[in-house]
Amino acid sequence: MGRIQDAFATAKRQNRAAFVAFLTAGFPDPERFAAYAEALLEHADLLEIGLPYSDPLGDGPTIQRASETALARGVDTASTLAMIGALRARTDKALAVMTYYNPVYCYRQGGASGFVRALAEAGADGVILPDLPPDEAGALLPAARSAGLDTVFLVAPTSTDDRIATVVRACRGFVYAVSVTGVTGARDTVADEVASLVQRTRDAGDLPVAVGFGVGSRESAARVAAVADGVVVGSALIRAIQDESDAGHPEGGVERVAALAAELAAGCRR
């Protein structure tokens, strides 16, 4: 059993949903990224690391700005891989990279196949691909399988049962269920159709289902945890880090963001 599968299995044994925290690589800067990542991993079962990208079509303004900040500070694929390697040396927790397909396709050392090999060698356990239809994954899927890297694709409330079945067959580790038909960002409510989407996805296979897009508080995490196997939180954490950075709290900011992560993790308990 790989780290991602183990993270969800452990959470299930403990009668809770797995807490998946998101952090953009190199944000708020390459030096402080590691401190925030380690603080989040004190409470998260899995860390989703976003590869900074100039055109993140599925992301709302909060994560878009985090990518812009990281890119402006020179963060690229090579430095992201180096950060993952350094983080892997300090943690046994599951690590997955979220990336749009263009950086994968354009990877200079072997395209998609070279990218997944490099990712696995750096110490990542999986790759989340929000804009790549699994039936168009080409050489990526067999290369990922060969490298021992889990592949995670997305389903949405608008996905048909046939489409969900196609996505689930291509996934390893877990299936990422999008709670809304829109971009990332914390919201005050969780859509009513989330429970139905989770159940339809479970019916298509035996993988855990984690729900993201819109979770930003202990209360919304609890609502998702009641129906899903995992809760993904990104924008709320990124916004908290940005607020602490803007306020000039480089040290205490890590503690405050860790406290938010603890609250979100508490919401994942059933």
pLDDT, tens digit (0-9, with 9 covering 90-100), for 198-211: 999 999 999 999 99
Catalytic residue among 29, 31, 48, 150: 48
Distance CA 63, CA 140 (A): 26
Would residue 48 show up in a list of annotated catalytic residues for this protein?
yes
For residues 142 and 144, what is the distance between their CA atoms, to the nearest angstrom?
Answer: 5
Type of residue at 87: L
CA–CA separation, 47 and 117 (whole Å): 19
Residue 168 has pLDDT above 90, yes or no: yes
Sign of the CA dihedral with 77 first, then 251, 64, and 185 last: positive
Residues in the chain: 270
C-alpha to C-alpha distances, 153 to 32, 50, 98, 217, nearest whole angstrom: 29, 15, 10, 24
Domains along the sequence of the chain with CATH: 3-267 (3.20.20.70)
- Position 185 scores a pLDDT of 42
pLDDT higher than threshold 60 for residue 191: no
Which residue among the candidates 29, 31, 38, 59 is catalytic per the annotation?
A: 59
Backbone angle region of 206, left / alpha / beta, with phi > 0 → left and psi within -120 to 50 → alpha? alpha
Average pLDDT of the chain?
93
Residue with the bigger pLDDT between 15 and 56: it is 15
Give the Cα separation of 150 and 171 in Å (integer): 7
Q: What is the rounded distance in angstroms from the CA atom of residue 215 to the CA atom of residue 191? A: 10
Q: How confident is the model at residue 182 (pLDDT cuts 50, 70, 90)?
A: very low
- Give the burial class of 59: count Cβ atoms within 10 A of its Cβ; 0-12 exposed, 13-18 middle, 19 or more buried: buried
Q: Considering the entire predicted model, what is its pTM?
A: 0.94
Neighbours of 166 (CB within 10 A): 17
pLDDT digits (tens, 9 = 90+) for 210-238: 999 889 999 999 999 999 999 999 999 99
Report how far apart, in Å, the C-alpha atoms of 117 and of each of 38, 66, 110, 147, 217 are: 24, 26, 9, 6, 36
Give the separation between CA 11 and CA 55, rounded to whole angstroms: 34
| Annotation marks residue 263 as catalytic | no
Higher pLDDT, 78 or 186: 78
Query: Which residue in 182, 255, 181, 260 sits closest to 220, CA to CA?
Result: 260
Most trustworthy range by pLDDT among 54-63, 130-139, 249-258: 130-139
